[in-house]
Chain A
Amino acid sequence: MLFVLAAASLTILLMGFVFLPALRGRKAEAVADEHAFDLTVYKQQLRELEADIERGAIPAAEADYARAEMGRRLLAAQDAVDASQNAAGKARQAGAPVLAAAAVFAPLATILVYTMTGSPGMDSQPLATRVAEMREQVAARDLQDMQITELVARAEAHLNQNPDDGRGWDVLAPMYLRLGRAADARNAFERSIAIQGESAARRSGLGQAYYMLAGGLVDANARVEFVRALEIDAGESRARFFMALAAAQSGDEAGALRAWQALVGDPNAAPEWQAAAAEGLRRFGAPATAATPGSPAPQLDAETMRDAEEMSAEDRSEMIAGMVAQLDAKLRDNPDDLAGWQRLIRSYLVLGRETDAREALERALAAFAQDEAKRDAVAQFAATLGLASGGEGQ
């Protein structure tokens, strides 16, 4: 809107300025005769000639020639002035239609051409502002996370008192997902289902929790939940997204693309999952930027997706690398985190850093030296990715 106003004022300003002399009429324009201008020039030339002669710059004989020639020019110009003055005086207002046409044509043509070539809605994007905005977004997300943590703490306290409040669990479960606390999320969804019975949303939420527990893999547990969710409601967006992801992870990329396409095109689907599907399409559709199957971070919220979309492939892989490094560091401090190890190994493989994946596996096995169940779980997880057998990365 501001743009339209600015463009309109610019047009009106310049057009007004252009038409000003026409609007003012010709009273102020008591123009001298065309030939009078010639006369001025010749008079001046004559004066210069006289000055030159006076300084002795021109010999006398030559001076006479020059004077005579100049005089002839002067006379001719004077005649022309007289002649045209006799003919002058007729009112000349013939061009009103031309002016009217021009006044209409100019703004219309400008708008037409601009809409052909321009991008009217698009904002300027100075780099400094964009960087600042990005910082703000990150800060806002951190703040949101903090608020959620607080809410979670309160909800947890409430549920400690009233463990059978099904609605309480319903509220808490997605927050756990948002915070990446997969095990808690699974627990919360299970409690909710146990108390209030199943729904498509609860089943698919539980599926997502399993997906996160498996380190970003739609494993058998998760798949069961998604299938169940779709049995209850065939249109449930999250389950549709993850079933497509499952297809992609099992090698059926064409199927995945079809399913995501359908999701993106479905007017009833949830927007955040449409965005996730669009991102999925982009990754698989454009191999250059395809980070590979399963790479969506655990929290697939619309914001992250939007950020990711705005980034170039290079920035994105840099961001992913940064996240992986963070995870790695976290696991050094706090090695007792099975899901974390699984995610780290998987991420390294996804990034094609097989040596790092192997090293992470070694570290994980060492970390769980006392805990056989977890050690086996890690080893098995690595085996499903083809790591233990020394096969290829994927």
Chain B
Amino acid sequence: MIVELGHYSLVLALILAILQTVVPFVGVKTGDDRQVAMAPNLAFAVFAALAFSFTVLTWAYVTSDFSLLNVVENSHSQKPMLYKITGVWGNHEGSMMLWVLILALFGALVALFGSNLPPSLRAMVISVQGLIATAFTGFILFTSNPFERLSPAPFEGNDLNPILQDVGLAIHPPLLYLGYVGFSICFSFAIAALIEGRIDAAWARWVRPWTLAAWIFLTAGIAMGSYWAYYELGWGGWWFWDPVENASFMPWLAGTALLHSALVMEKREALKVWTVLLAILAFSLSLLGTFLVRSGVLTSVHAFATDPTRGVVILGILVFFIGGALILFALRSSSLSNGGMFHPISREGGLVLNNLVLTTATATVFVGTLYPLAVEAVTGEKISVGAPYFDATFVPLMVPLLLAVPFGPLLAWKRGDIYGAAQRLYVFAGIALVAGLVTLWFATGAPVLAAFGIAIGFWLLFGSFAEVWQKSGLPKAGLSKAAARLSGMPRSVWGTAFAHAGLGVAVLGIVSVSAFQQERVLRMSPGDSTELAGYVISFDNVEAREGPNFTEDVATFVVYRDSDPIATIAPAKRLYTARGMPTTEAGIHTTGFSQVYVALGDPVEGTDQIVVRLWWKPQVTLIWLGPVLMMIGGLFSLSDRRLRIGAPTPSAKRRETLAAAE
């Protein structure tokens, strides 16, 4: 009964989502306060219905209820409990359920924290959110229903794809979806504002915390996914420019741009049209990502669920929302008034540069991701666009932006003084230059480009704190005064500093790994040892072990430095019995920010040798620590009390008129 109740609740969610779309909209349009007042409750109710439904689905996975087709296809009674739960969203139907659940969660959050919003704006936002929820809940119910039953029920399921049986899967998709779907709020705000025809500085102030929250989650999701691919796939790579990775990266780029342009809009009421367009684009790219992943039009390692008919439906939803939003934008944007003026060299100018670079970079990623599809559709020729394309386009575009980042916060609004900013930055430029030269000196034969990259990394890392440094008044002001000034500084200043420094840290990691990593592929017998980056790595033995739902051969490698053993690494080859599918478990040892990475290949027939792939990955963890810093920066900004605005109390005069009207 519970299972069917979950299914019923899903249907109820669809119908309530339709009400959520229609009732607040009609309420705002006809001026009926009662309908407007229902908007938050509708958002809560849809979330409650979906949450119940999702819980029931999870329960079915936990209890191995094989009367659900979805459970049979993706679970197994012997699977560890954690993967029974994470398996819920490790497949097409379940991941779409998670998608709409998070969508509804954001709708409910707007309802909950939206008391500072004008009721009609809040109702409109909730209405647009309801329309998205309607489309996707309908999509789930009619093309990908996870509650489809099977009778008679089999006694065992097919198990989850072993690659997805990892803690990474527990965290990666929810984070990614929180980010992806979080941009739906910005989208809804943009559509609501276009319908209402009222976009001003206050709007930007309301939309910024949501953008920031979505951006933090998306950053976390992408970084997490990158680390997951790095250790789970056993290829030693952390970013493949895989279409699905690009699908999550494009909304991130657009979202980052949005974050910055909304700042200009809030402070100066400039860039209104542009900000609204970015809000639409960020979510459109999220939808595109959903389409690319879910339709299976791309050849990609992530395409664990592919079904062309579903693809067509998602494409329809995509066209409806993106096309509809852009048409509305074209009709209404001309009515938006121009805001404050500014000189090209100014804080605004810097943020415009940021936006220009980020959007063109998004466009190059977009072209590279979709070009193969377009070519195949037109000429039938099958091509692929890989990392070399992105290295040749995305990277050169980003370099000027990276150089400009430390200047931005130092420029004044309206008209900035670039020479003044440069004066305050030359110390940091000096540090960066020295770092680059040191790199050239020590890493003999290091490419000049690598030294340049390292220099940019340090420039960003230290230059980002220039504003903080300057405002502290150090060294002149003295420690106690500086401390007082620092503590009085708005948190968003810290947020900016940390986020920009995080970018620098990530750049350092990326350049370091790309330029200085060492790799060896060789055959080793137990007892063999080899030298790698100053370490001696010896292969001790291979041992067969039994896991809960797999068997594995675990190899033991000992890492020596100066003939002292410092670590043991245990990479493994697993065979998941239910699907008969082998996977590679990489063995990783972290020292400082660097890692030794060992992956096992196949045994060489007729010998006791195994093909072993060893990497020395210098400073590789910085690639993910950078995003962590960015997230910390984002959290600082989000916690700035400036973003929390109270709701206005009705004025005395207003209350009187209301009383008179009763």
Contact = CB atoms under 8 A, between A and B. Distances in A.
Direct contact, A vs B (beta carbon within 8 Å) = yes
Interface of A: 2-3, 6-7, 10-11, 14-15, 17-22, 25-27, 29-42, 44-45, 48, 52, 55, 57-59, 62, 65-66, 69, 73, 77, 81, 85, 88-95, 98-99, 102, 105-106, 109-110, 113-114, 117-120, 122-130, 309-312, 315
Q: Which 5 A-B pairs have the closest CB atoms?
A: A126-B63, A95-B32, A21-B37, A127-B64, A41-B202
Contacts of B145: 117
Interface stretch (B148-156, B380-388, B433-441): B148-156
Contacts of A21: 34, 37-38, 40-41
Contacts of A36: 648, 650-651, 654
A112 to B, nearest CB: 9
Contacts of A14: 12, 16, 45, 48-49
A32 B650 contact: yes
A62 B414 contact: yes
Nearest to A14: B45
Interface string B474-488: 000000000001001
A98 B26 contact: yes
A20 B145 CA distance: 31
B106 interface: no
Interface of B: 1-5, 7-9, 11-12, 14-16, 18-19, 22-23, 26-27, 30-35, 37-38, 40-42, 44-45, 48-49, 52, 60, 63-67, 77, 116-121, 141-142, 145, 147, 149, 151-156, 200-202, 205-206, 268-269, 340, 412-414, 471, 485, 488-490, 642, 645-651, 653-655, 657-658, 660-662
B202 A37 contact: yes
Contact of B19 (A2, A42, A58, A106): A106
Secondary structure class of chain B's binding surface, majority of residues: helix
A311 B156 CA distance: 11
A6 to B, nearest CB: 5
Contacts of A73: 200-201, 269
B1 A3 contact: yes
Given A73-B200, A310-B153, 20 more contacts: A2-B1, A11-B12, A14-B48, A17-B41, A20-B41, A21-B40, A26-B37, A33-B650, A37-B647, A62-B413, A88-B658, A98-B22, A98-B26, A98-B35, A118-B4, A118-B7, A118-B11, A124-B1, A127-B66, A312-B152
7 contacts: A17-B44, A18-B16, A36-B654, A40-B648, A42-B201, A113-B14, A119-B149
B11 A117 contact: yes
B4 A94 contact: no
Contacts of B42: 18
Contacts, number: 242
A57 B391 CA distance: 40
A126 B202 contact: no
Contacts of A114: 7-8, 11
A41 B204 CA distance: 10
B2 A124 contact: yes
A20 B206 CA distance: 27
Contacts of B4: 3, 118-120, 122, 124
A171 to B, nearest CB: 35
A29 B119 CA distance: 11
Contacts of B655: 30
A274 to B, nearest CB: 18
B120 to A, nearest CB: 6
Nearest to A129: B63
B116 A37 contact: yes
Contacts of B657: 85, 88-89
